[in-house]
Amino acid sequence: MVKRVRLRDLGITIGRYETGAYNAITDIHGVKVGHTTLSKKYAGDRVVQTGVSAILPHSDNLFQEKVLGSSYVINGFGKTIGTIQLQELGVIESPILLTNTLSVPAVSEGTIRYLLDQNPQIGDTTGTVNVIVGECNDGYLNDIRGLHVRSEHAIQAIQFAKSGIVEEGCVGAGTGMSCLGFKGGVGTSSRIASFGEQTYTVGALVVSNFGEKKDLRIPGGGLLHLSEEEGKMPDGSIMIILATDAPLNERQLGRLAKRAAFGLCRTGSYAAHGSGDIVIAFSTAHRIPHELPPNQGNITYSIMREDGIWISQLFEMTVDAVEEAIWNSICMATTTEGNKGRVREAIPYNILLGSSS
């Protein structure tokens, strides 16, 4: 078996910016990622290939210390929870959870239970909590009708979250996903650059589940015109999570989220009719307290100037990080046997090096 490696290990780089130490969303200080992976064969041809992934903007109590955030819908064929309030109020007050389409309710319950345990006042002496859950349809490889993800799996993913190296490929929410006709999954990447006397980082984490072989565009190149052996697949989806330590407000984060679409389309996506393509972005630069003293009416914080090169530089870093995160999700994924005898092959690396033979 060929050892699975990341895109840069193949000698392929994207863009002109350096990566962070881990080339991951966890290069933003305080951000953690955790996975719960469910992979099991039952009698007959039933196979479970699914899971949950959790992204924590910081390690403290997110309900009490919120971060600024936004979301952007590239194509709305998705079943996310929490993005309406996120757009209205511009804050994230829970871990961000990703899973399969039919497991969104169970994962939402688990996330709520986790936050209720942390915060006895929720729903009692203060308001309720807005949890954020995103999804992709892994029903090609996973027995999705079995509803195998339970609320405790969401709690485990949150509790397992850690900084540093992020597991990629067939883990967590990416366990049963397919991308561009090959095995997809979880991928991550980051970019770091100087802004005057400051240094800021942009990180992306994706769960890739879109496209067919005919759509694949090699990094920095064009279409390879690969044939598709199977019949037409569902259009699929992608969840894209962006993090930065740059001091952006919620409106600026919305602008950043829109740029993720350019990194996505570089890989071959055109946001097909049935593809749920959703972006969630947050900044760790400021924390918004849940409660303020009665006599304090204002919160003061600084934001990045928006009249030129700095904000454009962040946009470019975002596009590059998203593109590379998608390729890492594919490069790190292994050939997977799934439900009803279906198999999704890992991508042969020679394809990414410009040869379809």
Q: What is the pLDDT of residue 225?
A: 66
Distance CA 273, CA 258 (A): 18
Q: What is the mean pLDDT of residues 255-261?
A: 98
Least confident of 51-55, 112-116, 179-183, 234-238: 234-238
Distance CA 267, CA 265 (A): 5
Task: Tell me: pLDDT of 355 over 70.
Answer: no
Q: 3-state DSSP call for residue 331?
A: helix
Active-site residue, 245 included: no
Task: Tell me: pLDDT of 228 over 80.
Answer: no
Least confident of 225-229, 335-339, 344-348: 225-229
Q: Which domains does the chain have, with CATH numbers?
A: 7-291+302-334 (3.60.70.12)
pTM of the predicted protein model:
0.96
Q: Give the torsion sign (CA, 321, 327, 329, 332).
A: negative
pLDDT of 303-337, one tens digit each? 999 888 999 999 999 999 999 999 999 999 999 99
Task: Tell me: pLDDT of 234 over 80.
Answer: no
Q: 3-state DSSP call for residue 176?
A: coil
pLDDT bracket for residue 341 (50, 70, 90): very high
Q: What is the pLDDT of residue 275?
A: 93
Burial 19-49 (b: 16+ CB within 10 A, else e): bbebbbbbbbeebbbbbbbbbeeeeeeebbb
Please pick, among 53, 108, 275, 329, the residue that the annotation labels catalytic: 275
pLDDT bracket for residue 293 (50, 70, 90): confident
Please pick, among 70, 189, 237, 329, the residue that the annotation labels catalytic: 237
Active-site residue, 237 included: yes
Active-site residue, 277 included: yes
Task: Tell me: pLDDT of 231 over 90.
Answer: no
Please pick, among 143, 215, 235, 277, the residue that the annotation labels catalytic: 277
